[in-house]
Structure 1
Amino acid sequence: MLGLCVILAVLARTVAQDAEEPVSYTCTDGYEYDPVRQVCKDIDECAIVADACKGGMKCVNHFGGYLCLPQNAQIFVSSGDEPSQPAEPSAPANPPQSPGQGQSEVQTHVQPGRGPGRRVSSSRILRCTPGFILDEQNYCRDIDECTRGRHTCSADQICYNTRGSFLCQCQPGYQKNGDQCVDRDECLLSHYCMHRCVNTPGSYYCECNSGYRLASNNHSCVDVNECQVSQPCEHQCHNLIGSFICQCNRGFELAPDSVSCIDIDECAYSPYMCQYACINTPGEYSCTCPDGYQLQGTRMCQDINECETSHECTEEEMCWNYYGGYRCYPRNPCEDPYVRTSENRCVCQPTTACRGGPQSIVYKYMSIHSDRTVPADIFQIQATNIYPNTHNTFRIRAGNEKGEFFLRRSSNVSAMLVLTKSLEGPLELIVDLEMITHHTVANYRTSSLLRLTIIVGPYAF
């Protein structure tokens, strides 16, 4: 409680003729009348008010009230703007109690009354403690050292006025190191960054990892949908938390940069992608077949039977289809002295011209693939008529000059033609297979000939 210590002495009016009439006194708040000394004396609130100050503050009695001050507070005597000096101890006629906040008692005196029987109350001269100034109403007002330039804060510090003094504090983001203010590294001490903290002089800012961006609070990080923002992928983009992944359309694969797509050369994967030829195109491939074949499914080649579709054989010719093409053969292959008795069968008339030759010639045609695996059974010869008391033998009469074939006797009436060497087409071979029949009872022999035309196709399919 601050205020001017004013003692109001109210003198009772007396009748001039009665000098012995008693005088009454009235004291201001914070004081009480001492009838012995006949003065107003200060009330020590610190002694009579229980728990007057809170928060560990010490109670200091003051004229007309009391102060709550820090434990290390000192009281100085000051007169306005004069330099403050510590109060010198004195022994006044009436020992004072602790002065009020911002004030201290300097002197106590009594002025003699004027007029018979009149008394004037005692007065006190007040001076303010350092940090205060006495105003015109005799109140001690706080001095704002920060605005008056009466502080010792450096240029990089902020001055804060306090009651009776001031404080020097560092700028936000800085901290004291002795008498200097140095940058406070928020990234090492405390920050709110979700990913990365970047310290700056007096402050800091947050950064996010790749694939994230700062949220509106400048601290949190949220995922960036790269597929919508930048469309980085050449074909398909799939967003992930903090990243993305690219995928390519069918027939393509990711390039080393993981965003571009390059064509897959399916034809280079395996020579078996297509039975004949593989043609690579962007994102896919296709199989083709040579002339005389057509594509079956996606990779296989199937022979075209030109004899059923289109050919150039005449009516006197027979169309014979083989793998990859066709050929025209005479419908009547018989030559004199042989005559045609049935389709592809020629019989010699009973004349001397046929002596030593086969009695009959049968014409057969067959087609095989090129590069066929050997040995392979390719054709069976068999007697059409079976007679008792006969013995049959088989041989290759012509067409095996290079030893491509072998005739294996299966029974008395049949034999198997075996391919012993792989043949590469296109190629045409004519092989004469002879069956010799020996009549054991009549002791004579006859023979018949099978003229086999073998056409080797140009491919292995």
Structure 2
Amino acid sequence: MYSQDINECLSGDHGCDVNARCGNIIGSYFCQCLQGYSGDGHSCYDVDECAQDNGICEHECMNQPGKYSCVCSTGYTITADLHNCTDVDECVSSNDTCEQTCTNTAGSFLCSCRGGYQLHIDGRSCVDIDECKLQNGGCSHECTNTPGGHECHCPFPLLLDHRNTTCVNVTSCALRNGGCDHICSLGAEGRIHCTCRAGWELSTDQRTCIDVDECVSFNGGCEQVCVNHAGGFNCSCRSGFESRKDDPSKCQPMCSPPCAHGGSCMRWNVCLCRPGWTGEGCHTAVCELPCANGGRCVAPNTCQCPSDYSGPQCLIPVTTPCVPPCQHGSICGPLNTCVCPTGTSGIRCEKLTCPVVTTVVSMARAVRKGFRESYVDRCGPLGVQLCTKYRINQARVYLQAYRVGYKIQCPDKTR
């Protein structure tokens, strides 16, 4: 007889603890406590992992039902192994930790302040120390508090000594330049006299130099824009103009591209070109007679011709000698072909189709020929004697000559 197994784990007809796992077997079942619990499976209780070696946690161990976790102290953070702790650098991780200086410590940080400040009771902010309230800041006369410090001042005509605390009488330019901003000199009566460099003027305290605004008076001599600066000024030009090289206070129109070939910039980007040039920036040459056959005007009345034409306007074809050369007076034509005269034939007109006859032309040629002739002239002392003398004279004579030639003589075609 066959009997079917009952799965007690599915039917719920088992006695396993809620923190245990139920496993079915044929005819029965078993109970096993889950990880983090201990017991026989029918009764399971939580295991406190923190009770043994603090759960291997570096700082604090927190037990939980069926598990545990490690917790770090303030100022530390848990590492990737979830057991150890590493220090948190609060000076890097937060921008508002300290107002001025932050120093990291193990698990914490410390705030400090620069000289002239003291740490607030909140341990983070810095408060300015008013040194003038403490023995007048060490000043013999006037004390002015500044953020993080203080300054001592003296009534006129006293000056601070080298320690910047005590006011003394001025008797030499060696101490703080006699109190002068620029130039200190000692007068005849031993008094300090202050003067200013060019572009400055002495103020009413006879020590301080203040800038002179040259642009107020006649625009500083600038034609367009005057820009004042400490001790001087600069002239500049409005848009579309540039300073002249010979006189930086004057402006001239600016052309872009610059006017070439001697052209003059009349106003912004408008050039007045010299004869023979035109176009933007005077870069285009003018040829009164146009360049033919693909020629290009490159300079006033100057054409740049293609390789097969020449002449002022590229009108003359360039004749290239035939190779091999044409014979018997033939002319080289296009495409390296010969144009044969009457009585010749062939590729190079090398064949004669008519006989060659000799021609003789008689011609007389006039030449000058020298000859010697005699004549009688006075000679001797006082010219009382007669002597025969000789001289070379020239006469025109005609020489008979003959010119021999050859020609192709073809018979006349008659019907």
Task: Give the alignment's TM-score, normalised by structure 2.
Answer: 0.36
Q: Compare relative contact order (CA 8 Å, sep 6+) and give the higher one, 1 or 2.
A: 1
- Structure ID, larger Rg: 1
